[in-house]
Amino acid sequence: MLRPIALIVAAILLAALLVKFNIASGSALIEVTSAIKSYYLATTQRLDEWIDAYFNQAEAIERLREENQRLKEDQVVSNAFAAEIINLSKLKGYETPPKFRARIVRALSYAELPDMRKIIIDYADLKPTEVKGLIYNNEAAGIVVDSVGGYAKALLNGDSACSYSVYIGEEKTPGIVMGRSEQEMIVRYIPAWMSVKEGDEVVTNGLDGIFFAGVKVGKVTKVNRLNAYIEAIVKPYYAAFNPDYFYIVETSD
């Protein structure tokens, strides 16, 4: 019992030092703080589950928890990849549907204080040069870009380095969406002759391999017509300041 308490106190003291001295980043520091927070979150979660099991019917609670988790993962896969599955099903000779699984990941800490758009998540399977899409509540939330020890660094939608390919509106006008601020994104490189208007919905098109087609991103709030291109200002659906759990959807053999 004393060990978890000691780790919790250590985590609190370390967090206070980070804020006081404005320590921004560093791979070794991120690994240590992420490990402490991961252990703390896992310990408190196990304690909550033990209390539930003790004061309620443990078998029923566990069954419902597993069923709820499975339904959530199925919903993420179905909603996020519905457009992709429909497109693939139209191909001649297409017999075996792709196998997807939703991998739940947890936000552990901010990667570079005071920037709240870069976070560390408990994901250890990111390959070198690989970029994966991050989903929250069936909406595009950001991208996973770098491995940091046994964890990974993710950029949320507002970060300027967060970008992925999208379609706009019913005509599927292509473009590249990029972070601009916590409440705003911008789609660039839209061909000048194509149609874009306020209120159009923006979804991922899957052509960059980060997301599959059909994940919702946001809605167009303003259109700027330049000489060679059109730019569209987008209000993203996901713009949370307190990141918690996300999904990464993976393909399985």
Dihedral through CA 87, CA 90, CA 95, CA 99, nearest 10? 10
* Alpha carbons 29 and 150: distance in angstroms, whole number: 13
pLDDT at 35 > cutoff 50: yes
Reference 150, options 171, 121, 179; nearest CA is 121
* Alpha carbons 130 and 125: distance in angstroms, whole number: 10
Model confidence pLDDT, tens digit, residues 219-237 = 999 999 888 889 999 999 9
pLDDT at 30 > cutoff 80: no
pLDDT at 20 > cutoff 80: no
- Residue 48: the pLDDT is 66
pLDDT top residue among 74 and 200: 200
Average pLDDT, the chain: 76
pLDDT top residue among 60 and 127: 127
Model confidence pLDDT, tens digit, residues 66-112 = 655 655 555 555 555 555 544 544 444 444 555 667 788 888 888 88
Instruction: Calculate mean pLDDT across residues 12-36.
Output: 54
114 preceded by a cis bond (ω within 30 of 0)? yes
209 — pLDDT class (breaks 50, 70, 90): confident
pLDDT at 31 > cutoff 90: no
Domain that holds residue 127: 1-253
Task: Quote the number of domains for the chain.
Answer: 1
Residue 96, SS3 per DSSP: coil
- Residue 17: the pLDDT is 47
Q: Which positions ≥6 away from 199 have C-beta within 8 Å?
A: 219, 220
- Which two structure tokens, joined as six digits, stand for 192? 């000048």
Residue 246 CB-density burial (10 A; 0-12 exposed, 13-18 middle, 19+ buried): buried
- Residue 94: the pLDDT is 45
